């Protein structure tokens, strides 16, 4: 792996009066780690998204540190430190719920340097060859993520032209784009995520391979893709991210069944349902409300489950078996591409199963259904389906009335439902 440095991109140091990073922008725990490394005579820099977001006047989600200390040397300085990772060894310094990630400067390698640097079929499987800060800057993915805040003199060190790209609001990958995506296909998803999150344009050379290299994602472990999916759709920019994934033709390689459902639905209801669900998720994130992967996966896979259930019924399978069989087949198929932990599979299936019960509105069971632990999620799902035209709006209105009514009013609502059904019930023909 060799990244060519362009001669026009030389190191530039931005002094304190040229940037807007101050101690107050950095968490106290990150400062503790930086200064302990510095006092132990190691180089210590705040790096990556933390620096990028501060310069963009955003609140960083976390703080990463780069140093010339090895992971073992970092651990010797902090009793609350744990070493993680094999492909990419890191030191995690724990301060209660906050984790400060510390990485040793990495260098480029061709995969044959040692057991610590391995490349198989162009993909990096181990990346623990250490080097200088400049080596480290050029082996990072995007220029805007390769800025270093030096705690020693409070300056920003830029080896790759990242500050200029920030000013132009441009996302640019370092090195040859195709080679970098081949080394780690997840970088394509990161490109989409950063473009959506930061509202940046994607530089032309960085963008071009995205349209043709999506199949590389098939070689990424499903468990790793699950973690990326969480970042893509639960960070508050899900609608924009979804649009970009489909624009760059990457979405079919992480949710193939969903893409088929969207294309086969000529009425556009599936796409409308997904878009509404993602917009709802973005709104909840913005309001600080909890969100769950189970809801996103349930929405993405709903049409696939519903269609397969209908096929099973047409084949003569028993109604009590078809839905469970359809859900099992769809979840199993999706997990081969993006793994879904069992703790999320169960609520997904319950949300799906409750849709049928919500549609039927059995008078004697409707009030009891309100106490189901998954009712609220299933009800929210039903409302989105109604907005997308997937179920009758009157049905959603009826449940909304029931949800917000007191006990006496609920009994009246159920009585009206029962009387209405008796009124339209067919009379039995008299026996001859």
Query: Among the options 43, 62, 135, 176, which is catalytic?
Result: 62
Find where tokens 């060859």 sit: 129
- Tell me if 347 sits within 8 A of 291, measured CB to CB: no
Of the candidates 268, 250, 258, the residue with the CA atom closest to the CA atom of residue 296 = 258
Exposed/middle/buried for 48, CB within 10 Å: 0-12, 13-18, 19+?
A: buried
Query: Among the options 141, 165, 184, 307, which is catalytic?
Result: 141
Find where tokens 């082996």 sit: 139
183 Cβ neighbours under 8 A, 6+ residues apart: 1, 119, 122, 123, 124
Provide the β-strand partners of residue 201. 170
Query: Among the options 64, 136, 282, 390, which is catalytic?
Result: 64
Tally DSSP H helices, then E strands, for the chain.
Answer: 19, 12
384 Cβ neighbours under 8 A, 6+ residues apart: 273, 276, 277, 280, 299
Distance between CA atoms of residues 67 and 45, nearest Å: 6
Alpha helices (H) along 145-237: 162-168, 177-183, 186-198, 204-207, 222-233
62 is catalytic: yes
64 is catalytic: yes
Question: What residues are labeled active site?
Answer: 62, 64, 141
């Amino acid at each position: 792996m060799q990244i060519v440095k362009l001669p026009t991109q030389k190191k530039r140091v931005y002094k304190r009066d040229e940037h807007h990073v101050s101690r107050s922008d950095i968490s106290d725990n990150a400062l503790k780690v930086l200064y302990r490394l510095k006092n132990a005579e190691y180089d210590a820099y705040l790096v990556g998204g933390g620096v990028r977001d501060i310069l963009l006047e955003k609140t960083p989600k976390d703080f990463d540190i780069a140093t010339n200390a090895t992971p073992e040397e970092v651990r010797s300085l902090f009793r609350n430190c744990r070493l993680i990772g094999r492909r990419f060894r890191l030191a995690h310094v724990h301060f209660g719920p906050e984790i400060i990630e510390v990485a040793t400067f990495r260098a480029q390698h061709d995969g044959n340097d040692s057991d610590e640097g391995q490349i198989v079929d162009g993909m990096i499987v181990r990346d623990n060859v250490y080097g200088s800060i400049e080596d480290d800057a050029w082996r990072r993915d995007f220029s805007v993520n390769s800025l270093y805040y030096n705690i020693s003199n409070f300056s920003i060190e830029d080896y790759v032209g990242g500050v200029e790209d920030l000013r132009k609001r441009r996302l640019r990958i370092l090195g040859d784009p195709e080679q970098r995506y081949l080394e780690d296909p997840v970088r394509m998803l990161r490109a989409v995520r950063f473009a959506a999150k930061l509202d940046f344009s994607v530089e032309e050379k960085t963008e071009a391979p995205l349209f043709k290299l999506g199949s590389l994602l098939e070689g990424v472990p499903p468990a790793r893709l699950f973690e990326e999916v969480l970042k893509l759709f639960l960070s508050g920019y899900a609608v924009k991210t979804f649009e970009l994934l489909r624009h760059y033709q990457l979405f079919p390689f992480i949710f193939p069944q969903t893409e088929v459902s969207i294309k086969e639905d000529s009425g556009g209801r599936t796409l409308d349902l997904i878009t509404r669900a993602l917009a709802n998720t973005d709104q909840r994130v913005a309001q600080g409300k909890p969100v769950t992967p189970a809801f996103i996966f349930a929405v993405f896979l709903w049409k696939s489950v519903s269609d397969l259930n209908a096929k099973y019924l047409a084949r003569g399978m028993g109604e009590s078996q078809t839905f469970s069989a359809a859900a099992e087949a769809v979840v199993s198929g999706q997990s081969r591409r993006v793994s879904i932990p069992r703790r999320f599979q169960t609520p997904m299936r319950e949300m799906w199963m409750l849709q049928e019960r919500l549609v039927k509105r059995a008078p004697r069971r409707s009030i009891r259904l309100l106490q189901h632990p998954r009712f609220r999620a299933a009800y929210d799902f039903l409302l989105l389906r109604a907005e997308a035209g997937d179920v009758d709006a009157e049905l959603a209105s009826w449940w909304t009335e029931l949800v917000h009514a007191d006990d006496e009013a609920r009994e009246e609502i159920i009585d009206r439902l029962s009387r209405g059904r008796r009124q339209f019930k067919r009379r039995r023909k008299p026996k001859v």
